[in-house]
Structure 1
Amino acid sequence: MFRMPLEAFTQDENFPFFIQYGEHDEPLYLHAHDSYIELVIVLSGSAVHIVDGEKYPIQKGSVFVIAEDIEHGYDDPQDFHICNIMFRKRFLDLSSFDIAGAPGFQALFVLEPQQSRTKGFTSYLKLLPDEQLNIEEMIAALHTEYTVRAAGWQTMVRAGFIRLVVELSRMYDTNRIENDAGIVKLAPALAYIERNFQEEMTITELAALTHYSERQFLRLFKEATGCRPMQYITKLRLHTACRLLRETEMSVAEIAERCGYTDSSYFSRVFLRKCGISPKAYRKDSAANSAY
């Protein structure tokens, strides 16, 4: 497998992001990304997208995300123009934004890349004509900021990219997903978890959002995320707790409640050490809280 490093496009490790327009008159050889993600928007024409040896037709309006270590390429290009946006995960922790609670975000940026690893390139966003025009204008503005590099360009690129992610997520109507789209149909359930992870929920409730049976839901959820729903919720609570502990002045008790735990002692045992917070720091925080 030929690996294409991000360094082939940009040497800036402090700003691991690259955007370009691509025109393919000839097939593009199979390759995999080395530790970066690629967002692809097809601007015109058509081609055959080869993913792990399987062939899938794509055309103007196709939007998809290629995760790291997925082998892909293009064959039979016909007036094939695309925009490639490449970035490392650390460029933006997209899961920390509220758009993560949208089914379209979960489908396009979480589930589809995972499905490409297990079941091939079976679903992707297909833009309507008016949506295509809107996205092309946003891409043009983002590309201009990236290439001209006027004062504050990095801030503008980040802001423009976040806006693009939000708009694409809004445009992704999960009701358009084909019935055999597999794990991508989990998007409404994952979005619901993102919005309500601090609340109690049942497998029955989550499965109903996907129209799968509970047995199918559990199987596909494990396939998509590597764990069961309640384990996934615990990981999400951990991720949120660690971020709040490091980035805010909230007390441990407040963070515990925000993450769905009324017992701050239990929270401290489960989360503090995993978040790298020392028991001494926790005792100091607890003592400060007890003074009020």
Structure 2
Amino acid sequence: MFRMPLSAFLQDESFPFFIQYGIHKEPLYLHSHDNFSELVIVLSGSAEHIVDSERYRIRKGDVFVISDETEHGYTDVRDFRICNIMFRPSFFFTPELDITESAGFQALFVLEPRYSRKSRFSSRLKLDMDAFLQINRMIDQLHQEFTEKSDGWKTILKAEFLKLTVTLSRLYRFEAIPDDAGILQLAGVIAYIQKNYAEPISVSQLARLSNYSERQFIRLFKEAFGCIPMTYITNLRMQKACELLRTTNLSIAEIASRCGYHDNNYFSRIFKKHNGMTPSAYRARVIKNIS
């Protein structure tokens, strides 16, 4: 299998984004992505999409995201035209963005890519005509900015891509995927965690939100994210703590509280276990690297 690097498309390695229009008259060989994701909007025609060992038909108006490590390609192409947007999620989807609190975002950009490489999962966002025209205008603007590279093009591209992300997340309709309740329930749970990570959260509470038994919920969660729910919450809290240590002058006690810890000593122990140093040492290293 060919592993496609994002660097093959980039002229500027510091800005991991690439957009293009593609007309496929021949099948596209199987390949995977090297540390980047691909947002695909089908603009016309249809094709059979191969994802790992599964195949399903995609048509005009379908929107999906392929993550790294996922082998995919196209066959049986018929007047097949798409827009590809290649991007590195960690560059665009930074921790402070509230879009991560959206169930639509979690479904389209996080869970669907994970499920598609683990099981037969072909749920996709399907745009109606009004939404299709709206998204078409947005990607035309993105493509123009990317091609012309006028003053401030990186700034406006990042802003416009995030706007596209928000719009697609809002358009995601869970009722359109009745055959896979898991994506619906887990997306809502992850959005809840992102919004309430600083509050006390129990596995039983999350299981009730998912409408699964606690045992089923833990199994599905671990299958999707590779860890149990409480580990996910701890990782998120540590990510938020690191962000606050880097970007604010808040005291360690205030940061601990904002991340859901009301015992400073316990917070420091968890932080050190997770990051290999205390919060104070982490902040000192950040300051040293800046100066």
SS at match of 1:114: helix
Contact 2:27 2:77 in 1 (8 A): yes
CA, structure 1 residues 181+43, in 2 after alignment: closer, same or farther (shift >3 Å)? Answer: farther
SS at match of 1:118: coil
After TM superposition, give the deviation of residue 278 of structure 1 in Å: 5.0
Supply the distance in 2 between the matched residues of 1:279 and 1:7 (Cα, whole angstroms).
Answer: 35
Match status 1:207 vs 2:207: yes
Supply the distance in 2 between the matched residues of 1:94 and 1:174 (Cα, whole angstroms).
Answer: 25
Match status 1:242 vs 2:234: no
Contact 1:115 1:184 in 2 (8 A): no
Partner of 1:132: 132
After TM superposition, give the deviation of residue 277 of structure 1 in Å: 5.1
CA, structure 1 residues 61+94, in 2 after alignment: closer, same or farther (shift >3 Å)? Answer: farther
Deviations along 1:135-167, whole A, 9 cap, x unmatched? 111111111111011100010100011101111
After TM superposition, give the deviation of residue 37 of structure 1 in Å: 0.8
Matches within 5 A, 1:52-201: 52-180=52-180, 182-183=182-183, 185-201=185-201
Letter in 2 for 1:245: L
After TM superposition, give the deviation of residue 182 of structure 1 in Å: 3.6
Match status 1:37 vs 2:37: yes
Please give the TM-score of this superposition, normalised by the length of structure 2.
0.91
Letter in 1 for 2:166: V
After TM superposition, give the deviation of residue 173 of structure 1 in Å: 2.1
Supply the distance in 2 between the matched residues of 1:67 and 1:231 (Cα, whole angstroms).
Answer: 22
Coordinate RMSD, CA, aligned: 2.0
CA, structure 1 residues 64+282, in 2 after alignment: closer, same or farther (shift >3 Å)? Answer: closer
Supply the distance in 2 between the matched residues of 1:221 and 1:78 (Cα, whole angstroms).
Answer: 37
SS at match of 2:117: helix
Letter in 1 for 2:70: I
CA, structure 1 residues 272+135, in 2 after alignment: closer, same or farther (shift >3 Å)? Answer: same
Contact 2:65 2:109 in 1 (8 A): yes
Supply the distance in 2 between the matched residues of 1:264 and 1:230 (Cα, whole angstroms).
Answer: 19
Supply the distance in 1 between the matched residues of 2:62 and 2:283 (Cα, whole angstroms).
Answer: 53
Contact 1:6 1:36 in 2 (8 A): yes
Please give the TM-score of this superposition, normalised by the length of structure 1.
0.91
**How many residue pairs get matched?**
284
Contact 1:52 1:120 in 2 (8 A): no
Contact 1:177 1:185 in 2 (8 A): no
Letter in 1 for 2:156: M
What stretches of structure 1 of length at least 5 have no aligned partner? 285-292
Deviations along 1:238-292, whole A, 9 cap, x unmatched? 11001111111111111111011111121112115644655765899xxxxxxxx
